[in-house]
Amino acid sequence: MNELKKLTGGLYFGEGPRWHDGKLWFSDFYSHKVMTLDENNLLETVCEVPNQPSGLGWLPNGDLLIVSMLDRKILRYSNGQISVHADLSEYVTHKCNDMVVSKDGTAYVGNFGMEDAGENLNSTHLMIVKSDGSILKGPDKILFPNGTVITEDGKKLIVAETLGAKLTSFDINENGELANRKLWARTSPVFSLLIIRFLSALGFDLSKVDFSKYSKNLHVPDGICLDEKNGIWIASPTSKAVVRIEKGGNITDIISTPKGAFACMLGGKDRKTLYVIISNSSDPEEAQASPEGEIHSIEVDIPGTGKP
């Protein structure tokens, strides 16, 4: 396999990478911008989101949906204008986060479930937003829902439970609701999950913990993407790596990153380019004081598929 190649730097904290219309789209949390990176490594700003952008996706008509984290809304960007697509603030107590949008425009949105990484570990629920902006409450008891993918046939959703160190699957019904919850894979041994819970209960800011002191195999899924052989790449900030994992938990590839890996996406002309967004920390003060976030890429053998 080839080596990681740095494409650009100077980001505050990149998240939510998507391959769309020949470009890598992503959010930079603390510059409050949705941006693109083209194949010549040219960065451009699409729009600004004052309350911090995160997950991205597109409606069938091409309008861009953006998670606005702090005010817990889904925004719609169309013809250079931003409007509110759905207001989730009545249903979600803490920051909204990543999102995947299906082919029919149904958005599945995660949230923190707690104020910050130093708070006791709480489970939360997904939110489902239909293409017309109507809102449904999705499955609960999810430990920090983060990166999410939908299979190419549109019938299955798999969500990264970051603080559960696992991937969980649901069947997508004809009406877009989720059912038949199953464990898709654990990304770390169970004892590693106990370490997370113990440190969280003690009030540690988990984004600053050097987990290598406790376990070299603690892969915690943040952003994720799906390939054509039903493998999922996870970005793991705790182990500073992107890891390809198969259903059941078999790990086939581990690619080390120079900083914490927070998000990944398969793109490029043949969707065999694995883009990885890395950063030293997700802490707002640290990230804003020193914009050291970067985007790297590496060529892999199996192309991406599904959504995002």
**Token digits for 170?**
């649901």
Question: pLDDT per position in the chain (308 positions), as tens?
Answer: 678 999 999 999 999 999 999 999 999 999 999 999 999 999 999 999 999 999 999 999 999 999 999 999 999 999 999 999 999 999 999 899 999 999 999 999 999 876 654 445 578 999 999 999 999 999 999 989 999 999 999 999 999 998 889 999 999 999 999 999 999 999 987 656 666 666 656 555 555 566 555 556 789 899 999 999 999 999 998 889 999 999 999 999 999 999 999 999 999 999 999 999 999 877 777 777 778 999 999 999 999 999 99
Residue with tokens 């999810």: 142
Strand partners, 136: 128
Candidates 234, 187, 235; CA nearest to 215 is 187
Is residue 306 in a domain? no
Is residue 307 in a domain? no
Is residue 18 within 8 Å of 24, Cβ to Cβ?
A: yes
- Measure CA 136 to chain center: 21
Is residue 278 within 8 Å of 266, Cβ to Cβ?
A: no
**CA dist., res. 177 & res. 206, Å (int):** 32
Q: What is the CATH number of the domain that holds 101?
A: 2.120.10.30
pTM of the model: 0.92
Is residue 125 in a domain? yes
Candidates 46, 3, 11; CA nearest to 295 is 11
Strand partners, 261: 278
User: The domain containing residue 291 runs over which residues?
Assistant: 5-299
**Using one digit for the tens of pLDDT, what is the confidence trace for 1-18?**
678 999 999 999 999 999
| Number of compact structural domains in the chain | 1
